[in-house]
Each structure stands twice: as C-alpha cells, then as structure tokens.
Amino acid sequence: MKKSLVFLICISMCGCGKAEKTVHTPIESTPCAVWVESEHTPAIMEKDKCMSGAYIYEDMPYNEIDKFEEKIQAENDIYIYYIKKGEDFPMSFVIDCYAKNRIPMLVLGGDSSYEEVMTIALNCGSLDLPMFVEMDYNNEIEMYDAHSRLFRGYAPKTALVYGFDTDKNTYALPKSENMDWIAVNAFEKMSNGSVDSEYENIARWCDIYRDKSVMVNAAVPVFTDDRCNYAIDEACSEIDNIFSLAADHSNIGAVNYISLSINDEGRRKYSSRLSESDRIMTAYGNAVNSMPDIRYYCSTPYIGYIIGDKAIISSETALLLDADCTDTDYSNLKAVVNYTVDKEEKRIYLG
C-alpha cells in the first residue's frame, strides 16, 4: 500500500534541465488494482473466455438444452452427463450437444470397471469428437492412470479431468501425466438452516493448483432435510459468489452447476435443482452472463490510477512488473502503454 501513497502526496523533482513540478492526485481520478498477464498455459479445449456448463437432467421441464437456455436467458458451453455403473453409453446426449454446438462432458465414478471404461473410451473414439471425460476416483491414482490410458489410446480427442471433492484434507493430490484438467467438486451442504459455503475451499485449491486448468463443479443446496427448509435467497447469492471466482483466478477455465436432488427411501433429503425456483434460474442465468471475458490475468498488490485516458503507475511499480510504459513529466510516475480498464471492477490489466 505504500506505493499508492505516491499518488496522494506532493512530488517535487528537479534535474535534467526540467523545472521543479508538483503533482496531486485529482479528485476525479480512479484508483484501480493492477493486474498482470499470468503464465498460465491453457489446457486442451480451454477457451479465452471462462466457460460455463450445467448438469440439468433432473430439471424437468427444462432438462433439454434449448428449453433450459431459453428459460435462463443465457448460453452455456458445456453440458454434463453422469454415467452410472452398468449404464449404456449416452450416444443421443453426446450427439445432441454437438448438434447444438455445445461440449459434452461425461463423468465416471470410482465404481467403474476397466471393461466398462474401455467400452466408453471406444464409443468416444468412434465419434472422433472432442469432449470432456471426468473421472472421480477418490484419489485412487492407479485406477485413474489405468483408465485414463484407455482414453489416450482409443479416444485421443477427449480432455481428461481428474475430479475430487473440495473437503479433501490435504494440500497435495496424486499426480498423473494424463490430468489435462483438475475438477474441484463443491457439493455444498446446509447446517442450522444456512448454506455451508465452499467458496474458501475452492479458492484454496485454485491457488494450490495455479499451474493447472481448474474446472469448478458446484451444487448449492436450495432445500435439505436439515430443517426441512428452503434457502432461495442464500442459494441465489451463493451461485453468484461461486461464479465470481472465475474473475479472481485466471486458471479457472470453466464453472459448471450441478442441478440434482437426493432421495432416501422416498423421502427428499437434498436439492440443488435450479428449477426449484424461477429466482434461482434467473440468478444462474445472470451468473453465466457475467463470466469474465478477460482471462489469464492475476492480481498484484499494486495500485494505479486512471487520469483522463491514461493509466498511471509509479516508476517502482513499472520496474517490478516490467510494464510497457512511457515517461511522464514526473520522474517517479509512468504512463502505461498497453492496458485495458474494467471501470466497474476498478482494475487495470497490463499487457
């Protein structure tokens, strides 16, 4: 924060034949956080914009792509299908996604046998289309390696995703050369009638795996049998919070919403279904439409100012960030050459 004081005090410099000058930060100038391009290397199928997706199979009558997107007034990039043990390959789902220019994502559980996974890999390969395949194997890295090699061999266009839950009490996951993406699965719960947010845990994993492309799969409880209550307002707010993570973590390449319900012996225990409320559908659509267009930037502890049409930073900040700048009339201030400004978020993106 000391560096921001450069703009709050009078500066007097003399030398090289220039007259001594003093500058104050104009009242109308806008202080902004300085962001710089990250060194993140995009994963297979990653886009410049952060992608959005959803599992909507249980959201009748909005469990078809066209009807769902018309309802939320937004367009997703990804749609998800969970392949249960013994279930046939969802050929119609994959074809429908591609017919509508959406990316299919298949999720396999840890109970998948080698023979079942081989059949899935052969089907993916026969289509010869790019798609995501997530394997949630509870840190069973040997099983993940064996199954991922099937996709590498038979379906090379698939992007392989290693999935795990946010509540893993560790700071290191097993690693495999076949992990194209990391999937952070945040299936939130409720206690005492309130949503237990996984926001901090998601952010923690994104920081730990800053060198990997991260996919966030989130389910926000709308109803649980904790107190048999609905939490519509909280769910709307939490959806907005989770999607906002994409603006702060340049390695988040996709945020997917998992809309589901869980029953036990005919009794409803849990629901994160978007179709529980029109307000939740609207909140989700707004979150999708708010996904950041500017990616691959990370925050710095430095402050700059927008004065007129120029972004101004201190000489020290320019040196530390190796920023492309031009001189000003003041030896301790620099004008940024290549920058983008987000006035709403009060950010200066360098480069």
The string of DSSP letters for 204-217 reads HHHHHTTTSEEEEE
Q: Would you state the pLDDT for residue 80?
A: 98
pLDDT given at position 91: 97
pTM: 0.83
Residues 148-153 have a mean pLDDT of 96
**Cα pseudo-dihedral 264, 270, 272, 277, rounded to 10:** 100
| pLDDT, tens digit (0-9, with 9 covering 90-100), for 107-133 | 999 899 999 999 999 999 999 999 999
Is the pLDDT score of 41 beyond 70? yes
Q: Is the pLDDT of residue 16 over 60?
A: no
Average pLDDT, the chain: 88
To which residue do tokens 């992990």 refer?
179
Assess whether pLDDT exceeds 80 at residue 3: no
Residue, of 12 and 151, whose pLDDT is higher: 151
pLDDT value, residue 2: 39
Tokens encoding 312: 């101004």
Structural domains in the chain, CATH included, are 2-38+296-350 (no CATH), 51-289 (3.20.20.80)
Does the pLDDT at position 221 exceed 90? yes
pLDDT at 174: 72
The share of the chain scoring above pLDDT 90, in percent, equals: 66
Rg (CA), the chain: 24
C-alpha dihedral sign at 284, 287, 289, 292? negative
d(CA 105, CA 107): 7
State residue 21's pLDDT score: 56
CA 9 from centroid of its chain's CA atoms = 39
Lowest mean per-residue pLDDT among 11-25, 198-212, 288-302, 311-325: 11-25
pLDDT for the residue 337:
93
For the segment 303-325, the average pLDDT, to the nearest whole number, is 91
Q: Running DSSP on this structure, what letter comes out for residue 110?
A: T
Tell me how far apart the terminal alpha carbons of the chain are, to the nearest angstrom. Answer: 22
Q: Which of 29-38, 172-181, 312-321 bottoms out in mean pLDDT, i.e. has the lowest?
A: 172-181
Tokens describing residue 33: 């956080």
pLDDT at 60: 93
Q: What is the mean pLDDT of residues 220-245?
A: 91
Please report, for residues 37, 47, 306, the alpha-carbon distance to residue 294 in angstroms, rounded to integers and kept in the order given: 10, 11, 19
Strand order through the sheet with 30-37:
325-327, 333-336, 310-314, 297-307, 30-37, 347-350, 339-342
**Contact of 175 with 153, CB cutoff 8 Å:** no
DSSP H stretches of helix in 255-302 = 278-289
262, 269 Cβ separation under 8 angstroms? yes
Residue 202 has pLDDT above 70, yes or no: yes
**What is the mean predicted confidence (pLDDT) over 203-210?**
89
Average pLDDT over residues 329-343: 88
How does pLDDT run across 46-102, given as a tens digit for each residue? 998 899 999 999 999 999 999 999 999 999 999 999 999 989 999 999 999 999 999
Pairwise pLDDT comparison (277 vs 328), residue with the higher score: 277
Q: What is the dihedral of CA 172, 176, 141, 42, to 10 degrees?
A: 70
Per-residue pLDDT tens for 236-286? 999 999 999 998 898 999 999 999 999 887 788 999 999 999 999 999 999
Q: C-alpha angle with apex 336: 333 to 341, nearest 5 degrees? A: 120
Q: Is the pLDDT of residue 328 over 60?
A: yes
Percent of the chain with pLDDT over 70: 90
pLDDT at 167 over 80: no
Question: Taking the CB of residue 66, how many other CB atoms lie within 10 A of it?
Answer: 10
Alpha-carbon distances of 87 from 91, 105, 264, 265, rounded to whole Å: 11, 16, 21, 22
Model confidence at 168, pLDDT cuts 50, 70, 90, reads: low
DSSP state of 144: H
Whether residue 61 is preceded by a cis peptide bond, meaning omega within 30 degrees of 0, is yes
Block residue for tokens 């909140």? 283
